[in-house]
Each structure stands twice: as C-alpha cells, then as structure tokens.
Amino acid sequence: MGRSRWWALPCAALVLAGAAPVAAADQVRDGRSQPVFGAEPVRETVWVETGLDGDRDGVIDRVATDIARPAGTDHPVPVIMDASPYYSCCGRGNESELKTYDDQGRPLGFPLFYDNYFVPRGYATMLVDLAGTNRSEGCVDVGGPSDITSAKAVIDWLHGHASGFDAPTGGNAVYASWSTGDVGMIGKSYDGTIANGVAATGVEGLRTIVPIGAISSWYDYYRSDGVSFGFDPVGLAQHVEDGGRPDCGPVKQDLTDDAPANGDVTPLWTDRDYVPNADRVTASVFAVHGLGDLNVKTIQFGQWWDALAARDVPRKLWLSQTGHVDPFDFRRAEWVDTLHRWFDHWLLGVDNGITEEPAASIERAPDTWADEPDWSGEQAEPTALHPREDGLGPQPAPGGTASFTDDPSLDEYDWAAQPDQPSPARALFSTAPLSRDLRLAGTGSVTVTAVPSTPTAHLSAMLVDYGPATIRDYLEQGEGIRTLQTESCWGESRPGDDACYKDTEATTADVDFEIIARGWADLGNHESLTAEKPLEPGKPYTMTFRLATTDHVVPAGHQLALIIGGTDSAFIVSPRQPGQIGLDLAQTSATLPVVGGLPAVAAAWAGKPTVRPDRFPPRPDVRLNRDLPRS
C-alpha cells in the first residue's frame, strides 16, 4: 500500500459523497474544532427498534441510546458512538465508570471523556446499550446478529431507516434532525469489536471506526486452530446481562450447543467472523492494539488489518507494549490530540494534515515510539526458518527428529526458562546470537510434521527473544500501567459528569527473554478446522497453524528461538490422551514476517556473535481472565 494511494482517498470520498460537511468557520481554528458550544448539552434517551425479536416475546426489540449533543445550534452535528454491553455490569475505562441517570431516568453521567471533550466542539456522543444489556430489550448473542444489528440500527435511525421513540414501549416517534448522519464508532475490547462488526456490514453513514484491543473473529477469542481456551461465550452473555435474562434462555442454549468444546469451527463462529466481510468496509480505520495483550490476542488485529490492507481501506495504527489497555491510559495527551484531529477530518471534513502524517506508530521501549509512513508489517516478506538438530536457521534440515512428552501441568514460561537445559516437555531450537537486528512484523505460522503416540494431540508453538531488555510489565495486574492519585481533565465537567481522570505511568520489567508470538492447534484438525478426527498413533501428520501477530525487533546479540510443545496450560485445555509427540525436522518450519526478507535473515546470521544471555528470570504469573474480554 503506497501512502499516496490511500491518503488521497479521504478528500475524494468527501467530495464525491457530499456526506461530511465542513464545519462552520467559527467552529474550527488552527485545524481543530474548538469548544464553542458552551451551553448545557441536550441529554436524552432514544429507544431504537432493531427489527429483531431476540427475546421472542412477539415485540420488536428496542435498544436504549443515550445522547449528549450541543444545545443552542441549528447546525447539524456528527456523532461519536460507543456501543457497549458494559454500561451497567462492568463499567468503562480505567476507573470502571457506569452510566448514571437522574430521578426522571434521563442520562446524566456518561463514562469516558468523549462527551466532555467533543460535545463542546460540535459533536454528539451516543452511548448505546447493546441488546439485552442495561436498559435495552432483546438478548446478547456475543458478537452475533443481535449485537451487531442493535448498534447498526442506531446508525440507520440517524438516516431515517429505523424507528426511534422516546419510551422503551409505546411513546412518540423521535427523529434525528439535529444530526448530519455521519458517525465515528469507537471503543475498547467488546465495544471496539462491535465497531468492527458494524463496519463489516457497510452501513450507510459510518465514516470511521476506532477499534481498541478489539476482536475481529470470536472463534479466535475462544478457540485456536482446533483447540479450546477453556471458556465459552454463554458465560460472557450471562455476565453482561447481569446474571442472564430468563426470556433469553433459547439464545443461551444456542451459544452452548453451537460452540463445541473440541474447538471445531461451526456456523456460530463463522457468523461471528468479520474478516471475510472486510470488503464491505467503507469507513476509515484507526486501530490500536497492545502487543502484550493476552486477552484479545494480537491475531485479532493482524488478520483484520491484512484484510483491510487488501482492500486499501484508509487506516492508521498504534501498537503499544501494553496488554489490554486503552491509549488514554498509556499515551494520554498524544491520544486525545490525535483522536481529535482524526474525528475532525473524517466527521467534520477538516483538512488538518492528519492524513499526511505517519500511518503507524509502534512503541519500541516503554514510552519510546517509532513512527513510519506505512506499517512495515504490510511489506514484510514471509520467510522460512527451519528447526535443526543444531539450532534454528534459514537452511532446511537435511533430516533429523525431535520429540517431547505433553505435560499439561506446564506452560510456555516453564518451557522458555533455562533454554540451555534439556526438557522432556518441549523441543527448543535457537539461533546463535544475531549479528544484526532482525525485525518481525506481521502474522507468521508454523508447519509441523508430527507423529503422535495417542489418538489425540495438542500443539503449542512460540517465538522467544532471548536477551536482556527493559519492557512494559504487561504480565502484571496493570498490564503495563500504574494508576496514580493525581488527575488530569479533558473537556468540560458538569454536575454528575466529571471530565477528570486519574493519571497513569508505565510499569517496567527487566527481563532476559520475552515471548513475542505464540500459537496453538489440535493435530486432529490437520485436514479441516470443522471436523476433528482421531489420530492413528505412530502415523505422521502435517499441519500448519498460525502464530499471533507481532512487531518486534530482535536486537543484535540476542537469540531467536522456536519452541514447540504440547499443552500450554496458561492458555489451552489438554487433549483427552496426552502422549509423546515426535517431529520430523525436515518437514517442520516456521514462516515468519521478516522485514527485509531473506537478505535481512542472511545479514543477521552472518558474522560472529558477541553477546549471549546467561540469566533467566522466574516464571511470570500469567493472569488470564477466562470469562470475558477485559473492559
């Protein structure tokens, strides 16, 4: 993707569509919308019909849409929307804010800073309760048709294609005459997932989405190439419905019946995979993801990004070293400024130069960012590295074998520690210390030819950078940040709706190795992810499975290792009959996204290394939430 191609698209799109009006002259100064709307905002709730009857009560469901918009102006305004299931059960943001209402049930407290900051600048903020949550009717179906339709219907209402009312039942019709109809959807985790899913419908009026730590395929949240992570969507549905709604029993039963524990892909999962519909996306995309996110794993961002790139969708990217953290809490001032200009451009039509700035920003060390015109992951070349009896290198193994015994009590950190010591539970293949930096950026894969000793076998693979480094401590509770007692304010505070939030700072860890990509598979799905088959002990099977998306520089002097094992107890469930697994090294390889391709590999392998890691830390305590995406 050339920069001149995709950044030329916005202006043309605005002119041709005529749908993003340029803001009024007194609203914009120095390329930014200004807080000129100082009156108390209009705050109201509109109940929008979804066209569905998820709770099967014979009445079309309505979703509650809480709105804050500028008062005292006839100038139509665009909308910033966050559609979420978390407004009553879990809260939003680092301080877990919930919606609040006054004595008459009118919306009062809006979580996050969007209304405080953007409403005075001429935007409406709409916080939508997904069907089945908070004040909305219907049922949660965890990324399925109900979830996506309940958010899409609100955009349709802005365009007169759905009906809205001033009451949850009955009531008077309400129209959005105050809006331009242009929408930017934003949200972290489940919320950003809904933005991805709605964008994949191609709905009219959605101009941009800002998915933060978001899911693109729900299968890859709960499963991975035939293996299960040990938790299921019905638990999340019950949680966000505040324990489960009795009239949503049939929906919960479908979530249980159609998500088999063996990890097979079923229609339930394909219905919740937005990647194949990326060709319908007409909105620009500003994606943010933590490279240390072990909750919504980086494969979610990587496969979505690749599909958008193939269609040349206008896009921007931030990759942090954090875990599942909002950029408001790891790069606050820069985030608010960038988001401000992004929305100004895509929703107000302001020519502010943001489309000429670097498209990608990657955190290379705590609070140290590197910008580039386009993300190098789009130009990285798939490059094969081969495990050999003498290590890992660009040349295929002439032969040889390796083996390990699946021990479901161990995990990836047990395997990665003490790489110079043999372990019966994993096979480890390492380069010599590199003579030059080697950058991996994108989504890789591992191909194994494995010989199981039992009818069932699970596989895990990971890439490890061995060498000393200081990184964000994404394995600890804050996932790379620490919340402070000081506050900073972003926008206008009003009674019941504070614009001030606790500051944060980076937490760091000194490490001697870092796992930079990982993947898992069920060898019984080697022929198809839709049908697991029993294995014949002693027979070789070949299977290719994915590694998580990464962007990592392995420094000169460090070693890059490929580890292959059985059950990674930190993530996946064990097979019914764990056993020994043999590897045919001549038919096993890792295909990695190397920036610079094979020449970069050859350069990094040349010369004599000078540094070798000799310390290895205790195994980190990997804390995983197996019930729901962290909010």
Of 345, 377, 409, the one marking the end of a domain is 377
Position 617 in a domain:
no
Q: What is the pLDDT of residue 74?
A: 81
Domain that holds residue 323: 3-377
Tell me: do 341 and 384 sit in the same domain: no
Q: What is the DSSP letter of 462?
A: E
Across the range 129-136, mean pLDDT stands at: 97
pLDDT in tens, 458-516: 999 999 999 999 999 999 999 999 999 999 999 999 999 999 999 999 999 999 999 99
Q: What is the pLDDT of residue 602?
A: 95
Say what angle helices 249-257 and 233-240 make with each other, to 10 degrees: 160
Distance CA 2, CA 496 (A): 47
Contact 277/307 with Cβ under 8 angstroms? Answer: no
H/E element, 199: helix 190-199
Residue identified by tokens 């979420």 is: 84
Amino acid at 269: W
Position 305 in a domain:
yes
Tell me: do 320 and 178 sit in the same domain: yes
Tell me: do 361 and 407 sit in the same domain: no
Tell me: do 373 and 388 sit in the same domain: no
Which residues, 6+ apart, have CB-to-CB distance to 298 below 8 Å? 289, 290, 291, 548, 549, 550
Tell me: do 417 and 491 sit in the same domain: yes
Q: What is the pLDDT of residue 619?
A: 43
Tell me: do 292 and 193 sit in the same domain: yes
Of 316, 346, 377, the one marking the end of a domain is 377
Which residues, 6+ apart, have CB-to-CB distance to 508 below 8 Å? 366, 470, 471, 472, 473
Tell me: do 407 and 542 sit in the same domain: yes
Tell me: do 221 and 172 sit in the same domain: yes
For residue 450, give the nearest of 406, 510, 419, 417 by alpha carbon: 406
Residues annotated as part of the active site = 189, 293, 324
- Token pair in block for residue 611: 């540094």
- What is the number of domains present in the chain? 2
Contact 55/245 with Cβ under 8 angstroms? Answer: yes
Which residues, 6+ apart, have CB-to-CB distance to 127 below 8 Å? 65, 66, 81, 82, 83, 84, 87, 99, 107, 110, 111
- Token pair in block for residue 222: 């709960």
Position 157 in a domain:
yes
Tell me: do 89 and 106 sit in the same domain: yes
User: pLDDT grade, residue 631 (50/70/90)?
Assistant: low
Q: What is the pLDDT of residue 26?
A: 81
Position 307 in a domain:
yes
Position 622 in a domain:
no
Q: What is the pLDDT of residue 524?
A: 98
Tell me how long the chain is.
Answer: 631
Distance CA 457, CA 459 (A): 7
Contact 481/507 with Cβ under 8 angstroms? Answer: yes
Tell me: do 271 and 127 sit in the same domain: yes
Position 302 in a domain:
yes
H/E element, 285: strand 284-290
Contact 304/377 with Cβ under 8 angstroms? Answer: no
Position 32 in a domain:
yes
pLDDT in tens, 578-589: 999 999 999 999
Of 377, 396, 423, the one marking the end of a domain is 377
Tell me: do 311 and 424 sit in the same domain: no
Position 612 in a domain:
no
pLDDT in tens, 81-123: 999 999 999 999 999 999 999 999 999 999 999 999 999 999 9
Q: What is the pLDDT of residue 606?
A: 83
- CATH number, domain of 325, equals 3.40.50.1820
- pTM confidence score: 0.93
Tell me: do 126 and 237 sit in the same domain: yes
- CATH number, domain of 468, equals 2.60.120.260
Q: What is the pLDDT of residue 375?
A: 97
pLDDT in tens, 355-367: 999 999 999 999 9
pLDDT in tens, 502-552: 999 999 999 999 999 999 999 999 999 999 999 999 999 999 999 999 999
